[in-house]
């Protein structure tokens, strides 16, 4: 692999190379998980690739997910066996080969309280058993992800001490995958693509997009750079219909609350709470990094213009608190909510025939102008989406490429769990940077303060901020605080880290 570092000088150099006569095999529009996945797939097959991202890597939906590496249970429940199996296979690939450093097993616990009837508990248990079968069919062994089981009240309370004690009958426990951070997955995929020669250009909006190229507007320098391409993939997520108007998307918003881990003391599992009055809906409280718990998720129609950064509505906050409180001894209140975040799912509007939820599967749809649109899917299955999109581009445009290689291609920083456990760096850094954790520490250049948190109550260090500027393509404080690190998820933390971010860029 060549140099995987993304930074301002590389961006400048690659933009001026393109301005001198830009002709590539594949132009990818959008730097979320889908676009970066497509860029990696194509570049690793030997194609010349440009990826244009209007804002920053993971600017869109890809940073607002629940950060789960799904085994596909949800899809099985709705009868989508193929999608469920694909999800379970891709979960195994991510956790075993491509990104063991960015993923970990997560126990998920449904507490059995009077609100959950015996009938509903039996339904959940049957679902968990089907999930075990899926996992085995996908060849993910029980050392990687243990099987599901019913546990007693004492064990339930050990894993989830805030759960109500009275009339607790025990719990149902299953394991799934969890990402340390969705935006870091996108950055790792983008850098791995860059290591295979892809030009990854952030702050470059694709305009006048056709099947033969586009004009890239450099939003920093103001110049426009025409790029000719043999094939063009539109991976602009909920903005895809701005590029291909024949797509009619109907976004739906999913909101999470962020609370301090102290608000749910001792929570060591993803608390999974059935939504009263439904059979197949749950609210999750998911332990996250840096002393936070994320509580999600809603599903709200979001008509009208697509905002850059979606915002939660007050009733979503109320719904999430009310549902999670059905199982807690000490109810949470809005005072516990440090912040909220929301993302938009792309639903394809089927006109009179209703809408199709493309967030469950994905589609590669040839557009009228010759552009290939990749819509839907999820973080977990990005690799399969990318392979399908590149296969379609290769077939359609006769590109000189071999078969997909990404199943065995570790992302930058990846290694086996055994070797990761021996990387001489703090575990928190290994969970975010894998084998590169030592390179992050080197950014301190002998200054011990650079490996200390930049402000009280935070975990992020100046060494990480410097690494993001030098190697991860962070161009400004927003990139640093909102995407390379996730300090910005809580507004007051962001303010505390701002001076350090400015200094790292200085
Ligand atoms: C609330 C929620 C929770 C989810 N939870 C999970 C989960 O736990 N696990 C899971 O596997 N999946 C999950 N998903 C699904 C997953 O997050 C999405 O499927 C995925 O992130 C979509 O990625 P994308 O790259 O297609 O879109 P995006 O991430 O939105 O990327 C599109 C990019 O295109 C750029 N762009 C737009 N127009 C242009 C232009 N003209 N030129 C250049 N660039 C442009 C945008 O700036 C943006 O960065 C969740 C989704 C939601 C909404």
For residue 72, what pLDDT is reported? 80
Strand partners, 168: none
The atom of ligand 1 lying closest to the CA of 381 is: 11
Alpha helices in 292-398 (DSSP H): 314-325, 382-397
| pLDDT-derived band at 352, boundaries 50, 70, 90 | very low
Between the alpha carbon of residue 182 and those of residues 63, 155, 237, the distances in Å are 5, 30, 15
Contacts of 9 (CB under 8 A, 6+ apart): none
Q: Find the 61 Cα to ligand 1 centroid distance in Å.
A: 3
| Distance, CA of 302 to chain centre | 21
Question: Contact 176/70 with Cβ under 8 angstroms?
Answer: yes
pLDDT score of 496: 98
User: Ligand 1 test: best mutation among 56, 61, 301, most atoms within 8 Å of CB?
Assistant: 61
Residue 32 CA, ligand 1 centroid: distance in Å: 5
Region 1-22 average pLDDT: 93
Length of the chain: 506
CA distance 218 to 23: 17
Contact criterion met (CB below 8 Å) for 67 and 294: yes
Q: What is the pLDDT of residues 297-347, one digit of tens each?
A: 999 999 889 999 999 999 999 999 999 999 999 999 999 999 999 999 887
Give the three-state DSSP class for 51.
strand
Least-confidence region, from 129-133, 195-199, 246-250, 477-481? 246-250
DSSP assigned state of 429? H
- What is d(CA 251, CA 240) in angstroms, rounded to the nearest whole number? 11
453: buried, middle or exposed (CB in 10 Å: 19+, 13-18, 0-12)?
Answer: middle
Q: Name the phi and psi angles at 15, rounded to 5.
A: -65, -40
The answer on pLDDT for 354 being more than 50 is no
Which band of pLDDT confidence, cut at 50, 70 and 90, is reported for residue 389? very high
| pLDDT higher than threshold 60 for residue 95 | yes
Please state the rounded mean pLDDT for residues 251-279: 95
Nearest-atom index, ligand 1, CA of 237 = 27
- As given in the structure block, the two tokens for residue 337 are 């909510």
- Ligand 1, residue 66: give the atom nearest the CA: 8
Q: In the chain, count of helices (H) and strands (E)?
A: 16, 20
With cut-offs at 50, 70 and 90, classify the pLDDT of residue 360.
low
Nearest CA to ligand 1 atom 5: 65
**pLDDT tier for residue 55 given thresholds of 50, 70 and 90:** very high
Does position 293 have pLDDT exceeding 60, yes or no?
Answer: yes
Which secondary structure element, helix H or strand E, spans residue 225, and what is its range? strand 224-234
Report pLDDT for 287. 97
Mean predicted confidence (pLDDT) in 38-51 = 98
């Amino acid at each position: 692999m060549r140099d995987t570092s993304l930074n301002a000088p590389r961006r400048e150099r690659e933009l001026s190379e393109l301005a001198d006569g830009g002709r590539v095999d594949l132009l990818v529009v959008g730097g979320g998980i889908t676009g970066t996945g497509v860029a990696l797939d194509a570049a690793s097959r030997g194609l010349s690739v440009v990826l244009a991202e209007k804002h920053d890597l993971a600017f869109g939906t890809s940073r607002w997910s629940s950060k789960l590496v799904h085994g596909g249970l949800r899809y099985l429940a709705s009868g989508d066996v193929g999608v469920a199996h694909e999800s379970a296979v891709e979960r195994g690939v991510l956790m075993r080969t491509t990104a063991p450093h960015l993923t970990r097993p997560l126990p998920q616990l449904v507490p059995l309280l009077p609100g959950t009837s015996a009938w509903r508990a039996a339904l959940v248990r049957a679902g968990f058993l089907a999930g075990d079968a899926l996992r085995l069919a996908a060849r993910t062994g029980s050392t990687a992800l243990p099987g599901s089981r019913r546990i007693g009240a004492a064990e339930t309370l050990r894993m989830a001490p805030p759960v109500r004690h009275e009339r607790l009958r025990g719990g149902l426990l299953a394991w799934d995958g969890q990402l340390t951070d969705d935006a870091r997955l996108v950055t790792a995929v983008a850098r791995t693509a860059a290591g295979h020669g892809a030009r990854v250009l952030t702050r470059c909006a694709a305009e006048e997009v056709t099947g033969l190229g586009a004009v890239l507007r450099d939003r920093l320098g103001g110049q426009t750079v025409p790029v000719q391409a043999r094939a063009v993939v539109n991976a602009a997520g909920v903005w895809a219909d701005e590029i291909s108007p024949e797509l009619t998307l109907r976004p739906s918003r999913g909101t999470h609350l962020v609370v301090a881990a102290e608000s749910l003391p001792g929570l060591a599992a993803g608390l999974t709470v059935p939504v009263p009055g439904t059979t197949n809906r749950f609210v999750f409280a998911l332990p996250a990094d840096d002393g936070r718990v994320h509580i999600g998720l809603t599903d709200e129609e979001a008509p009208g213009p697509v905002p850059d950064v979606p915002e939660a509505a007050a009733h979503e906050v109320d719904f999430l608190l009310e549902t999670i409180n059905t199982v807690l001894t000490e109810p949470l209140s809005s005072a516990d909510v440090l912040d909220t975040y929301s993302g938009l799912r792309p639903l394809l509007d089927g006109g009179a025939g209703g809408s199709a939820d493309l967030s469950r599967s994905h589609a590669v749809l040839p557009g009228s102008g010759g552009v290939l649109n990749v819509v839907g899917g999820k973080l977990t299955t990005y690799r399969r989406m990318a392979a399908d999109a590149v296969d379609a581009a290769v077939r359609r445009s006769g590109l000189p490429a071999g078969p997909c290689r990404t199943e065995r291609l570790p992302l930058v920083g990846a290694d086996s769990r055994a070797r990761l456990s021996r990387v001489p760096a703090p575990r928190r850094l290994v969970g975010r940077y894998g084998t590169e954790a030592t390179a992050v520490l080197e950014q301190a250049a002998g200054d011990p303060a650079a490996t200390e948190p930049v402000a009280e109550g935070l975990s992020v260090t100046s060494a990480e901020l410097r690494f993001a500027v030098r190697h991860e393509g962070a161009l400004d404080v927003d990139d640093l605080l909102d995407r390379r690190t996730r300090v910005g998820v809580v507004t007051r933390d962001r303010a505390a880290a701002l001076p350090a971010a400015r200094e790292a860029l200085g």
